[in-house]
Structure 1
Amino acid sequence: MIRLSEQRRTAPSWVRALDGRVKIALLVAYSVCLFFIDGLAGLAAAAVLLAAAGAVGRLALGPVLRAAAPAYVIAAFLLLYNGASLGWTSALVVTGRILLLVYASVVLVSLSTATELTAALQRLLAPLGRVGLPVRDATTALSIALRFMPVTAEELAAVRRAQAARGATFDSGGLVGRLRAYGGLMVPLFVGLFRRADRLACAMDARCFGAAKTPVYLDEARFSAADVVALAVGVGLCALLPFIP
């Protein structure tokens, strides 16, 4: 299985070279426009736009879909709940928004490094730090949360394979039986995630995270012409999505 980190290494240099602030701004613009889309045609156009971004970044479709696996349970619940209360068309729109938002986050993480995202968020939110808000802590937590999305999918796949090797079945029986079988994956999944989080906390403490009050950057990122063009084109395309009937 191709991991997202392996995909990141195969991305074209000009995509990876885009400023992290541009990538985050494009994700924010795309996310905001998703919630102004009211029809399936607009969602289809948003999906095509996201697929084009992934194709430009040379991301394989399968690993991106698998990385968003934890969101499928929430999406199924939203589909059933909204379908029963608001109608199936509205349910598909709501569910599509959530899934596209998750996929967009996966694409962002696949084309960026955790260090790049953390530095970009800190630069974007630096003005809030002047009024006493813990910008560095918040941005670090957010970047770790984004990085843990594909890690959660990988952990779930590993637990599922381990359970299947011990005789557990996930593809047989009725709906209740399958839900019960997948429910048995949750305990080892969360145990593994908490173990990873504990190791991460120990590593950050060993590196004296938070000891320095002023953040230090390895490079002085500046907007290039490619960054400006990518930002303008990306935001313009996102702004057109809500107007698609």
Structure 2
Amino acid sequence: MVENRQRYSLAEGIRAVDGRVKIALLVAYSVALLLASSFWGLGVAAAVLVVVMLAGKLSVGRIARDASFVYVICAFLLVYHGSTQGWSSGAMVVARIVLLVWASLALMALSTPTELTDALRKMLAPLGCHGLPVRDFTTALSIALRFIPLLAEELAAVRAAQASRGAAFEGLGVSVRLRAYGGMMTPVLVGLFRRADRLAQAMDARCFGATDAPTSLAERGLTLRDGGVFLVGVIVCCAFALL
């Protein structure tokens, strides 16, 4: 029981780290991946990422499955680099891309969209002093992140509705299945536009844009713990980059 409480407190502590620190560590991790010149360094980077996932109570298998969209691209890159620059170079390029995608997915899983967009807004706030629409950009990013699960939900609902009407999604020829999936696009787009229209009406009803100084329900600043996490993370990134 005590061990479980300690594990959950560690996971909660990782999730409670300020969003600005998480984004900064992702940038540092990405730079370290590009600077790592040996498989030893990339192996340590992978081990560090897995440890962070396990400590944050994330499923490594689920993160790997969620990154399946990048594996096809990595296969082409492996063949290309392997035939032109050597298989070792190609394997390092693929390893860097896979680890970067995994780290990005882990960041999304350990944070909420609101937390990340608020952190990005604070980090880009100095650019707003020069007339750049930082608030509009971060708001659009927040909406895009929130619409990703809604898109999956809309696709599942339309697929179930068309399957109940006899649409063939499995078991027949490829052309038949492609036509069935193609028929999903129009209702999915209509549903997304309907959601977007309701969102625009809700934002207008709440006077979005009436002030240039947005407020937040849970304003928080950087703490000593956040600084310590950032320092340790940068040291670890520098260590495996130099291996």
TM-score by length of 1: 0.76
Which consecutive residues of structure 2, in runs of 5 or more, have no partner in the other structure? 1-7
TM-fit CA distance, 1:144: 4.9
The separation in 1 between residues aligned to 2:186 and 2:240, in whole angstroms, is 37
The separation in 2 between residues aligned to 1:241 and 1:134, in whole angstroms, is 37
8 Å contact from structure 1 (residues 16, 112) kept in 2: yes
8 Å contact from structure 1 (residues 82, 88) kept in 2: yes
Q: Does 1:168 align with 2:165?
A: no
Percent sequence identity over aligned pairs: 45
TM-score by length of 2: 0.76
In the TM superposition, 1:227-238 aligns within 5 A as 227-238=226-237
In the alignment, residue 35 of structure 1 is paired with which amino acid?
L
In the alignment, residue 228 of structure 1 is paired with which amino acid?
G
In the TM superposition, 1:1-245 aligns within 5 A as 12-144=11-143, 166=168, 168=170, 192=188, 195-196=191-192, 199-200=195-196, 202-208=198-204, 209-244=208-243
Task: Return closer, same or farther for 1:29/1:195 CA change in 2, 3 Å cut-off.
Answer: farther
Q: Number of residue pairs matched?
A: 227
The separation in 2 between residues aligned to 1:213 and 1:231, in whole angstroms, is 30
Task: Return closer, same or farther for 1:92/1:193 CA change in 2, 3 Å cut-off.
Answer: farther
Task: Return closer, same or farther for 1:113/1:85 CA change in 2, 3 Å cut-off.
Answer: same
Instruction: Report Cα offsets for 1:115-166 as digits up to 9, x if no partner.
Output: 11111100111000000111122223444555667777x67x969x979994
Which consecutive residues of structure 1, in runs of 5 or more, have no partner in the other structure? 1-8, 171-176
In the alignment, residue 203 of structure 1 is paired with which amino acid?
L
8 Å contact from structure 2 (residues 33, 45) kept in 1: yes
8 Å contact from structure 2 (residues 42, 96) kept in 1: yes
Flag the structure with larger Rg.
2
The separation in 2 between residues aligned to 1:11 and 1:147, in whole angstroms, is 27
